[in-house]
């Protein structure tokens, strides 16, 4: 068994493509676009690396790659949280504790050399990106920008000395099971009390809209467990990445007296399409991502929904959810996933449960002490 650090573009490409063999016979796994993964992991293109650093490791056995991991130092996270936390992510491994332990040890050594005393993950590469290890809900494929892994990863991670740090919940809302009359009645009360107005994000003025969204995001999430602010460059990078699949009918800003106080957006679940692409848009994969094709996907994922901190108890979240349901039902959508939500976030979990949403997947963040 040979463990080595990625140092060349060819090795990085091998790192990115390694899961394709591992999940070859797993029909729940959704292959990522290789080009998008390269962009995400490129320090010259991803502004995350303006404040952070990562090292990638591979394990080879008998001429075959059998595991990978990234060790990540997120300096902005540590400055914000006043911590010395290192992150691990992009973890994949055969069902062999020798492989997974070697990977975790390599990541831990890299982090300890930087004076970090705690190891948290998986984060790919941050908690503002796809993160968490699937621990419940293996019978379903992941929605867009959500993680997936085999069931055996749970004992592999535990055997490496990690314990639960936090769970993240995913809810499913079948539209036919929604109590629409109750939701509409509550939403109307909130609308009258707050005088809030919901408008669509103006994609023709995206730059100014992104500044609004960044400001709201960093205010709304600031008290959440594990919060790390997003820079304007990171939000712009993410928006550029999602622009081609964002449907304007599912991107909102909430205003009170003309002042932006909340935002939310959802994406069509393109994972159903990505399965057919097998990691590339060529020769014909691009066709599936034309707007008319995206609108044929019958389910959405509500990716982000946030309200300014001083209005957390105002009910504006319910108002934004109602907007999704109204637009979704009118356009023939059958369901929405709301994910992810911290298990401790009562202000977000309670309204979803009251609306009839069901927590159907659970993701876990694990940590361990490096001292």
Say yes or no to pLDDT of 287 above 80.
Answer: no
Average of pLDDT values for 249-265?
98
Could you tell me the residue range of the domain that residue 184 belongs to?
173-364
pLDDT at 363: 99
pLDDT at 181: 85
Say yes or no to pLDDT of 285 above 70.
Answer: no
pLDDT at 275: 84
Angle at the Cα of 355 from the Cα atoms of 349 and 359, rounded to 5 degrees: 50
pLDDT at 284: 46
Partners of residue 17 on adjacent β-strands: none
**pLDDT tens-digit series, residues 300-319:** 999 999 999 999 999 999 99
Residue 234 tokens read as 């990171």
Say yes or no to pLDDT of 114 above 60.
Answer: yes
In a domain, 299, yes or no: yes
Distance (Å, whole) CA 343 – CA 13: 35
Range from 150-154, 172-176, 234-238 carrying the lowest mean pLDDT:
172-176
Say yes or no to pLDDT of 273 above 90.
Answer: no
Distance (Å, whole) CA 63 – CA 47: 34
Give me the percent of the chain exceeding a pLDDT of 90. 87
For the chain, what is the mean pLDDT? 95
Q: Are residues 149 and 230 in the same domain?
A: no
The radius of gyration of the chain from alpha carbons, rounded to an integer in Å, stands at: 21
Q: Are residues 150 and 198 in the same domain?
A: no
Q: Are residues 220 and 341 in the same domain?
A: yes
In a domain, 81, yes or no: yes
Cis peptide leading into 182, omega within 30 of 0?
Answer: no
**pLDDT tens-digit series, residues 169-184:** 999 998 777 778 888 9
**pLDDT tens-digit series, residues 185-203:** 999 999 999 999 999 999 9
Q: What Cα–Cα distance (Å) separates residue 49 from each residue in 25, 44, 115, 185?
A: 34, 8, 19, 46
Domain count, the chain: 2
Distance (Å, whole) CA 226 – CA 218: 12
pLDDT at 145: 97
In a domain, 350, yes or no: yes
CB–CB of 92/57 below 8 Å? no
Residue 291: how many CA atoms within 13 Å on its side-chain side? Answer: 7
Residue 85: how many CA atoms within 13 Å on its side-chain side? Answer: 24
């Amino acid at each position: 068994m040979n463990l080595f650090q990625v140092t060349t573009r060819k090795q990085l490409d091998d790192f990115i493509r390694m899961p394709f063999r591992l999940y070859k016979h797993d029909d729940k796994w959704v292959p990522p676009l290789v080009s998008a993964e390269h962009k995400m992991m490129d320090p010259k293109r991803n502004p995350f690396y303006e404040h952070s650093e990562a090292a990638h490791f591979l394990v080879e056995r008998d001429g075959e790659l059998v595991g990978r991991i990234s060790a990540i130092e997120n300096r902005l996270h540590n400055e914000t949280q006043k911590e010395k936390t290192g992150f691990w992510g992009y973890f994949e491994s055969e069902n062999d504790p020798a492989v997974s332990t070697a990977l975790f040890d390599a990541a831990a050594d890299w982090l300890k050399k930087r004076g970090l005393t705690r190891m948290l993950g998986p984060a790919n590469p941050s908690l503002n990106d796809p993160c968490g290890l699937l621990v419940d809900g293996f019978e379903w494929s992941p929605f867009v920008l959500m993680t997936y892994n085999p069931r055996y990863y749970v004992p592999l991670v535990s055997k490496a000395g990690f314990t639960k740090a936090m769970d993240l919940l995913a809810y499913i809302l079948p539209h036919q099971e929604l109590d629409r009359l109750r939701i509409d009645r509550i939403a109307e009360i909130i609308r009258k009390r707050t005088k809030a107005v919901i408008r669509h994000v103006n994609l023709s003025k995206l730059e100014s809209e992104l500044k609004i969204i960044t400001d709201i995001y960093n205010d709304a999430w600031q008290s959440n467990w594990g919060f790390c602010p997003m820079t304007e460059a990171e939000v712009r990078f993410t928006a550029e990445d999602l622009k081609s699949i964002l449907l304007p009918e599912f991107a909102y800003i909430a205003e009170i007296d003309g002042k932006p106080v909340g935002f939310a957006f959802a994406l069509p679940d393109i994972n159903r399409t990505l399965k057919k692409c097998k990691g590339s848009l060529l020769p014909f994969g691009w066709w599936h991502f034309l707007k008319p094709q995206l609108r044929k996907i019958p389910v959405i994922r509500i990716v982000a929904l946030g309200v300014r901190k001083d209005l957390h108890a105002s009910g504006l979240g319910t108002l934004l959810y109602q907007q999704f349901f109204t637009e979704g039902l009118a356009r023939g959508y059958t369901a929405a996933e709301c994910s992810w939500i911290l298990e401790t976030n009562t202000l977000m979990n309670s309204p979803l449960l009251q609306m009839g949403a069901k927590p159907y997947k659970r993701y876990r963040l694990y940590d361990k002490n490096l001292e």
